[in-house]
Amino acid sequence: MSEGPIFQRVALIGLGLIAGSMSLAMREGGLAARVVGYARSAETRDTAREIGLVDEVVDSAAEAVAGADLVVLAVPVGAMGAVAAEIAPHLAPGAILTDVGSVKQSVIDAVGPHVPEGVHFIPGHPLAGTEHSGPRSGFATLFRNRWWLLTPLPDSDPEAVEKLSALVRAMGANVDRMEAPHHDLVLAVTSHVPHLIAYTMVGVADHLRRVTESEVVRYSAAGFRDFTRIAASDPTMWRDVFLHNKDATLDILGRFAEELFVLQRAIRMGDGEHLHKYFTGTRAIRRGIIEAGQDTAAPDFGRAAAKAVR
């Protein structure tokens, strides 16, 4: 895929789904001469060693980043600031520091002040994931044909941005750049609020389950099952996403509640015309996503296809 390694030493801080998938993709493509990893718990480090997730697992974040020309923060959004403070004195001059957090402005606010002079901080977010987490959940094709958004700062070095973009593209993703506040609003619409709705719907069904003695689970239809898959996502990660993308989430949630009331009223008033027109519009959006190659038309929401490339 590539003509020799793009980076000499990549340090992954956090060894979960995203870091693990990056390591597997980089090693498969020969994109890094050496991938070194660190996670805070001995259990995760042991697992990573056992399955050979990275070239070397080390026992401190400082040791991982020493001499690295790329450092990736792959921990929950709420932990980014503390991790940045811990590694900052050990970062090599000229290194690129990036993150994969699902929220961008709060990560910039938390990490930015710790970044030493001469280190290039380029925040990023791969729009790829599953409901699984931990060191065993990664796979090399996770980023293939997905978007990876970079939110460079006004003074980011264009050469460093291009080098990081080259790595992202070599892992199979498409790169786009946007400003952090815009990223956070877009993601509130496309990911964060949909997750919150799924969590809520499964919570509602859970209350009903007590009344109907598990009929909700036994007879669960495709719509509900898809909600449960999303609602099985990592609780720490998603707690942090909502706490750190508060304004955009509340903005979109307000709009969602307004739309819901309009649909609720249409149902109450028997306004089939309104419902039909609304659903025709939303169907066109789904078709657009499939045409853009971001999902398949299979009735299983592309799960079989995703397994096939794993």
CB 239 → ligand NAP: shortest distance, Å?
10
Among 62, 79, 153, 306, binds ligand NAP (CB under 6 A): 79
**By CB under 6 A, residue 14 contacts ligand NAP:** yes
- Using the contact rule CB under 6 A, the part of the chain among 13-21, 156-164, 210-218, 256-264 near ligand NAP is 13-21
Among 5, 81, 129, 172, binds ligand NAP (CB under 6 A): 129
**By CB under 6 A, residue 74 contacts ligand NAP:** yes
Triad 90, 96, 101: Cα angle to 5°: 95
C-alpha 172/C-alpha 21 separation (Å) is 12
**By CB under 6 A, residue 101 contacts ligand NAP:** yes
- Using the contact rule CB under 6 A, the part of the chain among 77-85, 150-158, 249-257, 293-301 near ligand NAP is 77-85
Residue 12 φ then ψ, to 5°: -105, 120
Q: Which is nearer to ligand NAP, 41 or 264 (CB)?
A: 41
**By CB under 6 A, residue 123 contacts ligand NAP:** no
211-240: which residues touch ligand NAP (CB under 6 A)?
A: 234, 237
Neighbouring CB atoms inside 10 A of 172's CB total: 20
**By CB under 6 A, residue 39 contacts ligand NAP:** yes
Q: Which is nearer to ligand NAP, 122 or 216 (CB)?
A: 122
**By CB under 6 A, residue 126 contacts ligand NAP:** yes
- Using the contact rule CB under 6 A, the part of the chain among 36-44, 163-171, 253-261, 290-298 near ligand NAP is 36-44
- Sheet with strand 32-38: strands edge to edge: 56-57, 32-38, 7-13, 70-73, 96-99, 120-121
- Using the contact rule CB under 6 A, the part of the chain among 24-32, 131-139, 259-267, 273-281 near ligand NAP is 131-139
Q: Which is nearer to ligand NAP, 44 or 141 (CB)?
A: 44
| Strand-pair partners of 35 | 10
CB 133 → ligand NAP: shortest distance, Å?
3
**By CB under 6 A, residue 15 contacts ligand NAP:** yes
Neighbouring CB atoms inside 10 A of 233's CB total: 17
Q: Which is nearer to ligand NAP, 5 or 20 (CB)?
A: 20
235-294: which residues touch ligand NAP (CB under 6 A)?
A: 237
**By CB under 6 A, residue 133 contacts ligand NAP:** yes
Residues binding ligand NAP (CB under 6 A): 14-19, 39-41, 44, 74-77, 79, 83, 100-102, 125-126, 129, 133-134, 137, 234, 237
